[in-house]
Amino acid sequence: MTLKPAPLITFLETLEDTRRTASCDHNFIDILVIGICAIIANADTWEDMEEFGTEKEEWFRTFLELPKGIPSHDTFYRIFSLLDPDKFQSCFTRWVKSAVPEASDIPDDDAHIVPMDGKAIKGSRGKGKSKRAVHIVSAWSSKLSLILGQKRVDKKSNEITAVPDLLASIDLAGCLITADAMSCQKTIAETCMTKDADYLLAVKGNQKNLEADIQKHIEKYWSKHSGDGLSDTFYEESNRGHGREEYRCCWTFTDLEVLRGHEDWAGLKQFSVVQSDRTINGKVTTALRFYICSKEMTAQAMLSATRMHWEVENNLHWMLDIAFSEDASQTKNENAAENLSTLRRIALNILRLDQTSKRSIKGKRKKAGWSNSYLAKLLKSFIVTGA
């Protein structure tokens, strides 16, 4: 699916420059564009931004004003420390909305699953017990392989409060929202319903009654059913490779009356049990996971959806660490760290949207740093016009 977002600069130009502009040496929009280009092109620190801009100054002058040349690394840091992170994230989210079709436009056989999960930027942790690392919750589109939005977790709170805010900021009609056990909250289920979306939430000890009732029900079921054949309510699969064997199976149930307080969960239609067996060097480990869902699904579809939730770890969090060195970033200022996180997510989306190169994300970043023509192609397609 080819997506055509509106130019990012259209949204960046709505941001407020809080400096006293009469005494400023550098244009606000120039700083933002150079910062985005630098992150795309493998320049990960404030010092890298300055050096990247200096080496590319002649090229940048073809479409930016640069009245006093390239800003210093201190200027980049100061501007991104002053920039309102919520407003910058709003720009990012609105830009993504311009590119992403409504979920209803995606073919019926392509379920639009949106995993939501949080990630701490480890290097942003300051000294002292009260200095927590900046923690970002992201919404990931499994169908489009794009970040739909993000929200910082308040330092005095956790993901439970950040997730509803993130859900409220993005278009989710027709999507299936997946989240881990921390987000298994009635308020989050209700928010999904008000957004015309469905939810698939993992159940653990923070919802003791749910966990105990599902555990009791599956044990009772097993005692009466020695073996299940494939059906809409049971599915199994296995694979072997890289020195290990994996077996997975899923049971789905719609008899909600066995769950205490089930009527308090908005739209609840089904609960499921997923068993995973992994054999490595003859040693078997078994994991049992419980889920509640507002959408009636076959066991096969349910098992697939629970596995797709992990895409947010493998295709987003892992990518941010490996290709963008996010955890290595030592920016301690919370605003700057959060805005740098948004820059990385903008860059990752742009590189994923680009279909002119078959290289990996890391390879595309290097190519953007080496090749003005490739970077210009990205700019023309996603950021500015006339670059």
Q: What is the pLDDT of residue 104?
A: 47
Q: Within a 10 A sphere around the Cβ of 261, how many other Cβ atoms?
A: 12
CA 39 – CA 302 distance, rounded (Å): 37
Q: What is the pLDDT of residue 251?
A: 97
DSSP string, 130-167: T-PPEEEEEEEETTTTEEEEEEEPPTTS-HHHHHHHHH
Closest CA to 50 of 28, 32, 74: 74
Bridge pairing between strands 146-152 and 270-280: unpaired
Q: Are 151 and 139 in contact (CB under 8 A)?
A: no
Q: Are 175 and 166 in contact (CB under 8 A)?
A: no
CA 4 – CA 248 distance, rounded (Å): 38
Q: For the chain, which residues make up each domain, given as ranges?
A: 8-180+314-383, 194-298
Supply 14's token pair: 């709505």
What global pTM score does this model have? 0.90
CA 323 – CA 203 distance, rounded (Å): 32
CA 235 – CA 249 distance, rounded (Å): 5
CA 383 – CA 63 distance, rounded (Å): 12
CA 385 – CA 387 distance, rounded (Å): 6
pLDDT tens string, the chain, 387 residues long: the values are 567 778 999 999 999 998 877 778 999 999 999 999 999 999 999 999 999 999 999 999 999 999 999 999 999 999 999 999 999 999 999 999 887 765 545 545 557 899 999 998 887 776 655 567 888 999 999 988 999 999 998 875 678 889 999 999 998 999 999 999 999 999 999 999 999 999 999 999 999 999 999 999 999 999 888 776 778 899 999 988 777 899 999 999 999 999 999 999 999 999 999 999 999 888 999 999 999 999 999 999 999 999 999 889 989 999 999 999 998 888 988 899 999 999 999 999 999 999 999 999 999 999 999 999 999 999 988 887 655
The residues, ordered by sequence, that sit 6+ positions from 136 with a Cβ below 8 Å of its Cβ are 118, 119, 120, 121, 150, 151, 152, 153, 338, 341
Q: Are 322 and 217 in contact (CB under 8 A)?
A: no
Percentages (nearest 5) of helix, strand, coil residues in the chain: 45, 20, 35
Closest CA to 175 of 234, 116, 233: 116
CA 138 – CA 118 distance, rounded (Å): 6
Q: What is the pLDDT of residue 343?
A: 97
